[in-house]
Chains A and B, each alone.
Chain A
């Protein structure tokens, strides 16, 4: 197949933010995760846990709690605000001050009509949920300490509040503490005990997790303690109850998640009790957030990884569902590579880094490291302005243009190339708050996805930037392809694509062919729409020569669509007919980037977190019995026999924890790695645990 020169890059010091809160919406099967930097991510559990949406964070917004109300997502944070998110445009919709100091917790009733917020000043504030906004209704009786946790009774009549050293139950109608039977003060010897989490069950049982390491079961009517489980020497930070209230999980500072189940002590009897059943240890640090789904426990915390631990009594064994999943990297690319100039753009929440790749001398045998003649060079360290974090960024293929945007501010341009004048071009007004940016391959145009799934096309010139057009597709999960050169359809026709996803447009990649006759024509036409596929595309690319569209979806399927014929290609049909190899389908990280080998048009280069794959379309597809990872075998057999053993999927696992794989012009690859160990080493120290003989 051939040798590749690989620039192995490890200087992208990407650092994910710790997970603070989590909310699972069982109706839509979506999990909202809030991180320490205020970013909120939406994972679609129905679609292979794909990270669909990311709402960038904000400096001041420290999200402490998330809450789904129907399809609406609310958060409360230590800045004292309650925020509802615009999940279409990936930005906060509005914020409401709670006026109670930092808000610690947020909880809605089952009907989705009321939102309760626990505040620093000891009040539980009730908000009525209206369409498009929320309305403050009343305060509950003010308590002495801050309200750390809240839980509604499923009937909505009562709400339990955990605070410093006590748990209280309020009647939601009156906002008063309930009568003597329902009101009790929990005061252990240590007054500083924090009730980090409470769960109010329909049988009026209250379960609490506290900083003394206990999970306690209380009778909600009498306020008596039924059972205490000491599960850790440290804090129990999070609790989550399954939908059917038969299982409960508790996350601790030690990184463990302990499961309790409501089981009869004697088989066949009615008397049930909460019994500690299982303990999982998937985290090195605090488990701050937990979600109990139908089949799994989702946990996240200080170590930044999202872990989906299937409960084996709820899933079928030895299926994909029963496999443990760890999501460490975002499912989108934070790296942008300028192919022609060998530049790399790294996107951080707070800043951008532009690097020039190094150079090496001579040639070497496979497996060699070449001597580095010129070290990589950091060209620009660009800090963003304002409070909002960087939402997206792009680098033009020529390396002459750099663009980024935040949620609230307009598009910012830069001219990294020294030959360009430093004068910033004038920006059209329409260009604000884009969430995807893309340059055309000749760097003459910029496409930005904007509000309401529209795409704005901007022509770039030395002196000014000219707004050209806005494309407004229908909403839905579709891939739209526009022909930029409406009248001259030829093989080198000019396409760009974008994807609309439930009303959100995600601009993946734009390729523009020969652009001589391009003439700011305002009447761009929809060329075609690729047939809708159930799973969300994770990476899309158009082949520069054949104009075939290659898409890879969250369920690991690969499609190739011929834009000329407006149908799936022969290869794609064959692939679908034969099916992909099991091991390919069982991979648990999505393909995040597709590129093509400029020297061989049959080569498609893909990567996920753990491997780099070159698909050679000229070779036979592997069937189910073939060894998928066959590089070692091929290496050992003589050259004459290799062809007989080889198949289309050339998978290389030399590089791990990949953030980006891209081709450069000179048949070289850029591989950006971020070893998880490096991330781990930068985390704060976990709670000290007494190990034997230490």
Chain B
């Protein structure tokens, strides 16, 4: 198994859960006929199915002796022809609508032609050719063409005119045809066949009238892998060849009808290929599988496991190649033989002991529908209210026809849980209880992208609480990105999901913690304290790993970078100016200032790492009430307290510098908040701090800070008092009983 596949698998499966029921759909199938497969079930017993006169009639050739003509809608055989015992049909019978004759080949070399009214095949026209025939093709609008096993191509008419004419050998010795088809491109008829030679796959493009031959080599997939199936469409003078490898990769190569060289024996060109799909294959390689192009965007695949149904390969699925989404899926009972035909919106698939006909629709796909914005056509499956406008109508007018997929029981049950986008919120809520991580992620993402956040308010809370409880119950289930996204909506508060912050802490999801601290207005003090504890005890190396909000990081970065800048400034000529000033005998303060500066760096270096500082800042900015915070603060250990205080001191020093840049717009703790925390932490741990010798200097510093703050406040009070006095004076002036005033008149 390849990791890439798994990745793709997961991607598709998620998409599938979203979009499975929109767009292309498989209807309830019916049985056309029973089959007599070989004992070991290696062969379905069907050699080929070809279209008859119209879309409702097919000719089924079995692998032994008989050809049966069916009217499909009636599931009824209309005619049956059998070759004699001992003979066998080696190529599927084709119907030539121009002559209304059937053409088949028995025993490789005998061409048999008959009409519907012929009853006994033995009595009809026979012609024996000189070389083994690979297949007879008769494309609609074209003449029957005979492809010989050695690569030669003849029109049936010209061949019959001289049946024993010599047939040249086109292919090399070890080369053998694996698959062939016949298309009519505008005026020219082409026979396309692929061969295998020593592990190489070659494509021959044989044009008729005039005869041309092009030869291409397919790029090699992994060694030992050759394509399981081919499918061809013709569009815009190009032949699109689609092929499936056993590893689940579906490639497409485009061949030009007007090839470069027409000479025989030309070196085979390697055609470029594009990976259309990487189908989930489960364990092991695909053995009997087939991919068939349905239209420009859809591919029908059999024998490939359904992404959400384990390793069982008995599925028929329709994939959208443009968006790489699974459009419809159907489990087929019994073994799948890797055979698939498609005529006029009906898939013919032999499985087990039956040949089933499964009608399908592939409406024109659009981005909107691929992304799931299309309203589900099937009202019974969608719980969305009728008032939701139909995207179908908006995007496609009335074109989109209602599809009626009939599913197996299993599919239906899984469908139920995998609600789609037009899902009502309760569907999502239902889903996220059980769905895999990726599904949940996509689901929630879709939900958030879909509608107004305001409408979501009530459901976001529920969503998060379900996710949190699931995460708590199931340790392997945790979706940080989704949770972060949900918190970002700002529709949440702590009371709506009380366990979220603690969960984030437990999972060491510090980004989520930061978001919660930022956006939740009601984090209880106990939780704040728990965060503080977690952050402060976090090793710096771990902290740096966390990806945090860029704004808060840039704020701390600015703080720290200024710290460095300052240091360099002090080492530069800044000090000399200081010294110059201290030369002045009257300037005694200069020396003291100098002293302070030299002692400063130890305090001016951030004691914690960048990310840790960011997280601590977040804690500083939360709302709290002292009474409730204090008891929890006491839980901090002494070294953490000291570290925290050092950090607070660092912040305070930074803030109180005169040239502290005002970083507007950036979320940052205010000076008051810092002071409050200093006081709180000191209150909680004062006795302990007094005992610790290393905290002594810190305490002294902090004491001086608090003192200066107190002084500032008292000075402000004085100013307020004097201003008040001024105000009072003005009023009093009016009240006097007698005054002598000077007035001036102009």
Question: B534-574 toward A: CB 8 Å interface, digit per residue (1/0)?
Answer: 00000000000000000000000000000000000000000
- In the assembled complex, the CB of B446 is this many whole angstroms from the nearest CB of chain A, namely 54
**Chain A contacts for B745, CB-based, 8 A:** 1-2, 4, 614, 631, 650, 652
Across the interface, do B742 and A376 meet the contact criterion of CB distance under 8 Å?
no
**Chain A contacts for B740, CB-based, 8 A:** 5-8, 358, 360, 369-370, 372
Across the interface, do B737 and A650 meet the contact criterion of CB distance under 8 Å?
no
- Residue B738, interface by CB 8 Å: yes
Q: List 19 A-B contacts (CB under 8 A).
A: A3-B744, A4-B743, A4-B745, A5-B742, A9-B738, A11-B737, A358-B738, A360-B740, A364-B742, A366-B744, A367-B744, A368-B742, A370-B741, A372-B739, A376-B738, A631-B746, A642-B746, A650-B746, A652-B743
A577 to B126, CA, bound (A): 139
Question: A635-668 toward B: CB 8 Å interface, digit per residue (1/0)?
Answer: 1000000100010001010100000000000000
Across the interface, do A6 and B746 meet the contact criterion of CB distance under 8 Å?
no
Cβ-Cβ contact count across A and B, 8 Å cutoff: 73
Across the interface, do B741 and A369 meet the contact criterion of CB distance under 8 Å?
yes
Across the interface, do B738 and A369 meet the contact criterion of CB distance under 8 Å?
no
Across the interface, do B741 and A8 meet the contact criterion of CB distance under 8 Å?
yes
**Chain A contacts for B738, CB-based, 8 A:** 7-11, 358, 372, 375-376
Across the interface, do A634 and B742 meet the contact criterion of CB distance under 8 Å?
no
A367 to B738, CA, bound (A): 15
A4 to B746, CA, bound (A): 11
Across the interface, do A8 and B739 meet the contact criterion of CB distance under 8 Å?
yes
Contact of A365 among B737, B739, B742, B746 (CB under 8 A): B742
- Residue B389, interface by CB 8 Å: no
A271 to B742, CA, bound (A): 67
- In the assembled complex, the CB of A657 is this many whole angstroms from the nearest CB of chain B, namely 13
A365 to B743, CA, bound (A): 8
- Residue B736, interface by CB 8 Å: yes
Question: B713-746 toward A: CB 8 Å interface, digit per residue (1/0)?
Answer: 0000000000000000000010011111111111
- In the assembled complex, the CB of B718 is this many whole angstroms from the nearest CB of chain A, namely 27
Task: Using CB atoms, name the residue of chain B closest to A675.
Answer: B734
Question: A454-498 toward B: CB 8 Å interface, digit per residue (1/0)?
Answer: 000000000000000000000000000000000000000000000
Task: Using CB atoms, name the residue of chain A closest to B738.
Answer: A376
Across the interface, do A3 and B737 meet the contact criterion of CB distance under 8 Å?
no
Contact of A366 among B733, B737, B739, B742 (CB under 8 A): B742
Question: A1-28 toward B: CB 8 Å interface, digit per residue (1/0)?
Answer: 1111111111100000000000000000
**Chain B contacts for A365, CB-based, 8 A:** 742
Question: A362-384 toward B: CB 8 Å interface, digit per residue (1/0)?
Answer: 01111111101001100000000
Across the interface, do B739 and A634 meet the contact criterion of CB distance under 8 Å?
no
A1 to B742, CA, bound (A): 13
Across the interface, do B736 and A10 meet the contact criterion of CB distance under 8 Å?
yes
Cβ < 8 Å to B, chain A residues 253-296? none
Knowing A10-B737, A11-B738, A358-B738, the reply to whether A3 touches B743 (Cβ < 8 A) is yes
Tier of interface size on chain A? 20 to 34
Task: Using CB atoms, name the residue of chain A closest to B736.
Answer: A10
Across the interface, do B744 and A368 meet the contact criterion of CB distance under 8 Å?
no
**Chain B contacts for A8, CB-based, 8 A:** 736, 738-741
How many of chain B's residues have a CB under 8 angstroms from any CB in A? 12
Knowing A6-B741, A10-B738, A358-B740, the reply to whether A369 touches B733 (Cβ < 8 A) is yes
Contact of B746 among A11, A375, A635 (CB under 8 A): A635
A650 to B743, CA, bound (A): 12
Contact of A367 among B736, B742, B746 (CB under 8 A): B742
**Chain B contacts for A650, CB-based, 8 A:** 745-746
Cβ < 8 Å to A, chain B residues 35-49? none
Task: Using CB atoms, name the residue of chain A closest to B744.
Answer: A366
7 shortest interchain CB distances as A-B pairs: A366-B744, A634-B746, A360-B740, A370-B740, A650-B745, A1-B745, A11-B737
Across the interface, do A370 and B737 meet the contact criterion of CB distance under 8 Å?
no
- In the assembled complex, the CB of A55 is this many whole angstroms from the nearest CB of chain B, namely 32
A631 to B745, CA, bound (A): 7
**Chain B contacts for A360, CB-based, 8 A:** 740
**Chain B contacts for A635, CB-based, 8 A:** 746
**Chain A contacts for B736, CB-based, 8 A:** 8, 10, 369
Across the interface, do B742 and A370 meet the contact criterion of CB distance under 8 Å?
yes
- In the assembled complex, the CB of A606 is this many whole angstroms from the nearest CB of chain B, namely 13
A358 to B737, CA, bound (A): 11
Contact of B744 among A2, A11, A363, A375 (CB under 8 A): A2
A87 to B736, CA, bound (A): 41
Give the most central of B736, B737, B738, B743: most A CB within 10 Å.
B743
A368 to B743, CA, bound (A): 8
A8 to B733, CA, bound (A): 12
A44 to B408, CA, bound (A): 108
A376 to B739, CA, bound (A): 10
A1 to B745, CA, bound (A): 6
Cβ < 8 Å to B, chain A residues 571-611? none
- In the assembled complex, the CB of B746 is this many whole angstroms from the nearest CB of chain A, namely 4
**Chain A contacts for B741, CB-based, 8 A:** 5-6, 8, 367-370
Give the most central of B736, B737, B746: most A CB within 10 Å.
B746
- In the assembled complex, the CB of B734 is this many whole angstroms from the nearest CB of chain A, namely 9
**Chain B contacts for A614, CB-based, 8 A:** 745
Across the interface, do B742 and A4 meet the contact criterion of CB distance under 8 Å?
yes
**Chain B contacts for A646, CB-based, 8 A:** 746
Task: Using CB atoms, name the residue of chain B closest to A614.
Answer: B745
A3 to B744, CA, bound (A): 4
- In the assembled complex, the CB of A638 is this many whole angstroms from the nearest CB of chain B, namely 11
Cβ < 8 Å to B, chain A residues 392-423? none
- In the assembled complex, the CB of B260 is this many whole angstroms from the nearest CB of chain A, namely 94
Task: Using CB atoms, name the residue of chain A closest to B740.
Answer: A360
**Chain B contacts for A6, CB-based, 8 A:** 740-743
Knowing A7-B738, A11-B738, A358-B738, the reply to whether A1 touches B746 (Cβ < 8 A) is yes
A2 to B744, CA, bound (A): 6
**Chain A contacts for B739, CB-based, 8 A:** 8, 369-370, 372
Task: Using CB atoms, name the residue of chain B closest to A361.
Answer: B740
**Chain A contacts for B744, CB-based, 8 A:** 1-4, 366-367
**Chain A contacts for B743, CB-based, 8 A:** 3-4, 6, 366-367, 652, 654
**Chain A contacts for B737, CB-based, 8 A:** 10-11
New contact pairs (14) apart from A6-B743, A10-B736, A614-B745, CB-CB < 8 Å: A1-B744, A1-B745, A3-B743, A367-B743, A368-B741, A368-B742, A369-B739, A369-B740, A369-B741, A370-B740, A370-B742, A372-B738, A375-B738, A652-B745
A6 to B745, CA, bound (A): 12
A646 to B746, CA, bound (A): 7
A368 to B737, CA, bound (A): 16
- In the assembled complex, the CB of B733 is this many whole angstroms from the nearest CB of chain A, namely 7
**Chain B contacts for A654, CB-based, 8 A:** 743
A1 to B746, CA, bound (A): 5
- In the assembled complex, the CB of A197 is this many whole angstroms from the nearest CB of chain B, namely 41
A659 to B701, CA, bound (A): 68
A8 to B736, CA, bound (A): 9
A635 to B736, CA, bound (A): 26
- In the assembled complex, the CB of A495 is this many whole angstroms from the nearest CB of chain B, namely 30
A631 to B743, CA, bound (A): 11
**Chain B contacts for A4, CB-based, 8 A:** 742-745
Give the most central of B733, B741, B744: most A CB within 10 Å.
B741
Cβ < 8 Å to B, chain A residues 300-335? none
**Chain B contacts for A363, CB-based, 8 A:** 742
A79 to B552, CA, bound (A): 90
A5 to B746, CA, bound (A): 15
A4 to B741, CA, bound (A): 8
- In the assembled complex, the CB of B735 is this many whole angstroms from the nearest CB of chain A, namely 9
A11 to B738, CA, bound (A): 7
A264 to B681, CA, bound (A): 81
Task: Using CB atoms, name the residue of chain B closest to A3.
Answer: B744
- In the assembled complex, the CB of A588 is this many whole angstroms from the nearest CB of chain B, namely 23
**Chain B contacts for A634, CB-based, 8 A:** 746
A306 to B502, CA, bound (A): 77
Task: Using CB atoms, name the residue of chain B closest to A12.
Answer: B737
**Chain B contacts for A9, CB-based, 8 A:** 738
